[in-house]
């Protein structure tokens, strides 16, 4: 594995190798001295051309806990503002002997394109509506913490499936790990061909939640789509929102995941977001460990 561009490209064994490594990385963040010398002298450049707090900080912390030097580049104030092409910018960063590039862009396929042109490993930190592989890995990791195994477990993903890179990566990750995946959301947000990915498309939240072990609530990207794909947030919340009443439809002991940032009162009610089944903050903690595992494995020279 030289790059991490999407979960679609990974085998189950490769996913498990990353998650097993993350299991060991998790403990490092609980120490008083949260650092190991493994990537001493290596340089990781985070190229974030779309806004992000959580993911960028998570990658930066992951690199630093492994003793790598982490440099952040954002589109504002970068040479992209001077109309340098993305490829030229990436080639220049690689020419400064970067050991790995982490790339987020609002266009699908950018990390893939760069991985073919620059001679260093590339990690996709989210590309348009395509994939967000490290989010799916941390979702699977968090689910495994609670459930032990995903074989035969039911995972319900609710929200804007069509425009969500998290949904796409989660579908690949959870199905490859043996889970049954269901998706639900307003008809305008469910791709027609979604069942070709091996998931069940549900009309209602009741159907999706019945017996579910893991519930993934996606963020409604209100800034982008309100009015276009469903009539109102209020109606969305009443039909597809998660609150303590709808949660009761799921399997007892089911856990709730959300990639963040959450819209309280839209896709998830505050009493669920802050309650026992919620693993939303564990996801953030685990995200650092998963990204440490990815950086560790990809800086090894492809072996």
Partner 1 sequence: MAKARPESGFGANAGRESLPETATVVLDAAGIERATRRIAHEILESDPELDDLCLVAIESGGIPVGELIAGHLLELRSREIRLGALDVTLYRDDVIAHGRRPIPRPTRMPFGVGGKRVVLIDDVIFTGRTIRAAMDAAIDFGRPAAIQVATLIDRGHRELPIRVDFVGKNIPTARSQKVVLRRRPEGELEVVVQ
Nearer to partner 1, 27 or 276 (CB): 27
| 303 lies in the binding site for partner 1 (CB under 8 A) | yes
| Member of 8, 26, 107, 191 binding partner 1 (CB under 8 A) | 26
| Smallest separation, CB 291 to partner 1 (Å) | 15
| 69 lies in the binding site for partner 1 (CB under 8 A) | no
Count of C-beta atoms within a 10 Å radius of residue 207: 14
| Member of 8, 23, 243, 282 binding partner 1 (CB under 8 A) | 23
| 31 lies in the binding site for partner 1 (CB under 8 A) | yes
Stretch of residues binding partner 1 (CB under 8 A), selected from 38-46, 89-97, 119-127, 215-223: 38-46
Nearer to partner 1, 19 or 266 (CB): 19
Nearer to partner 1, 38 or 107 (CB): 38
CA distances, 5 to each of 158, 169, 289 (Å): 24, 10, 18
Residues 6+ apart with CB under 8 A from 115: 2, 3, 5, 121, 122
| Smallest separation, CB 124 to partner 1 (Å) | 20
| 300 lies in the binding site for partner 1 (CB under 8 A) | yes
| 214 lies in the binding site for partner 1 (CB under 8 A) | no
User: DSSP states of the chain as a string?
Assistant: ---B--GGG--HHHHHHHHHHHHHHHHHTTSSS---STTTT-EEEEEE-S--SHHHHHHHHHHHHTT-EEEEEESTTSGGGGT--HHHHHHHHHHTT-SEEEEEESSTTHHHHHHHHSSS-EEEEEETTTB-HHHHHHHHHHHHHHHS--TT-EEEEES--TT-HHHHHHHHHHHHTT-EEEEE--GGGS-TTGGGGT-EEESSHHHHHTT-SEEEEPPP-HHHHTTTSSS-HHHHHHHH-B-HHHHTTSPTT-EEE--S---BTTTB-HHHHTSTTB-HHHHHHHHHHHHHHHHHHHTT---
| 16 lies in the binding site for partner 1 (CB under 8 A) | yes
| 189 lies in the binding site for partner 1 (CB under 8 A) | no
| 145 lies in the binding site for partner 1 (CB under 8 A) | yes
| 119 lies in the binding site for partner 1 (CB under 8 A) | no
| Smallest separation, CB 303 to partner 1 (Å) | 6
Stretch of residues binding partner 1 (CB under 8 A), selected from 78-86, 122-130, 139-147, 243-251: 139-147
Number of residues that bind partner 1 (CB under 8 A): 32
Strands 122-127 and 100-105 turn out to be: parallel
Using CB under 8 A as the binding rule, the residues of this chain from 249 to 268 that contact partner 1 are none
| 61 lies in the binding site for partner 1 (CB under 8 A) | no
| 83 lies in the binding site for partner 1 (CB under 8 A) | no
| 148 lies in the binding site for partner 1 (CB under 8 A) | yes
Q: Are 164 and 184 contacting, i.e. CB atoms less than 8 angstroms apart?
A: no
| Smallest separation, CB 256 to partner 1 (Å) | 19
| Smallest separation, CB 63 to partner 1 (Å) | 14
What is d(CA 250, CA 184) in angstroms, rounded to the nearest whole number? 14
Interacting residues with partner 1 (CB under 8 A) = 16-17, 19-21, 23-28, 31-33, 35-40, 66, 141, 144-145, 148-149, 296-297, 299-301, 303
């Amino acid at each position: 594995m030289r790059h991490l561009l999407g979960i679609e490209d990974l085998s189950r064994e490769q996913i498990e190798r990353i998650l097993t490594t993350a299991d060991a990385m998790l403990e490092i963040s609980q120490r008083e001295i949260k650092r190991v010398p493994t990537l001493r002298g290596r340089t990781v450049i985070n190229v974030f051309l779309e806004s992000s707090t959580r993911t960028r900080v998570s990658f930066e912390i992951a690199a630093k806990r492994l003793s790598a030097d982490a440099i952040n580049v954002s589109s504002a104030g970068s040479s992209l503002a001077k109309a340098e092409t993305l490829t030229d910018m990436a080639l220049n960063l690689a020419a400064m002997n970067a050991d790995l590039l982490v790339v987020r862009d609002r266009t699908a396929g950018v990390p893939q394109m760069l991985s073919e042109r620059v001679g260093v490993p590339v990690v996709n930190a989210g590309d348009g509506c395509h994939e967000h592989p490290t989010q799916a890995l941390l979702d699977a990791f968090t689910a495994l913490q609670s459930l032990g195994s995903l074989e035969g477990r039911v995972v319900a993903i609710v929200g804007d499936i069509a425009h969500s890179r998290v949904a796409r990566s989660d579908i690949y990750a959870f199905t490859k790990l043996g889970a049954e995946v269901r998706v639900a959301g307003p008809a305008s947000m469910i791709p027609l061909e979604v069942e070709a990915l091996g998931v069940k498309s549900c009309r209602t939240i009741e159907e999706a939640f019945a017996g579910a072990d893991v519930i993934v609530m996606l963020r409604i990207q209100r800034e982008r789509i309100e009015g276009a794909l469903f009539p109102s947030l209020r109606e969305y919340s009443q039909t597809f929102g998660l609150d303590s009443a709808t949660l009761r439809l799921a399997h007892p002991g089911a856990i709730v995941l959300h990639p963040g940032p959450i819209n309280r009162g839209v896709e998830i009610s505050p009493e669920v977001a802050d309650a026992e089944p919620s693993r939303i903050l564990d996801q953030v903690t685990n995200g650092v460990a998963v990204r440490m595992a990815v950086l560790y494995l990809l800086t090894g020279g492809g072996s």
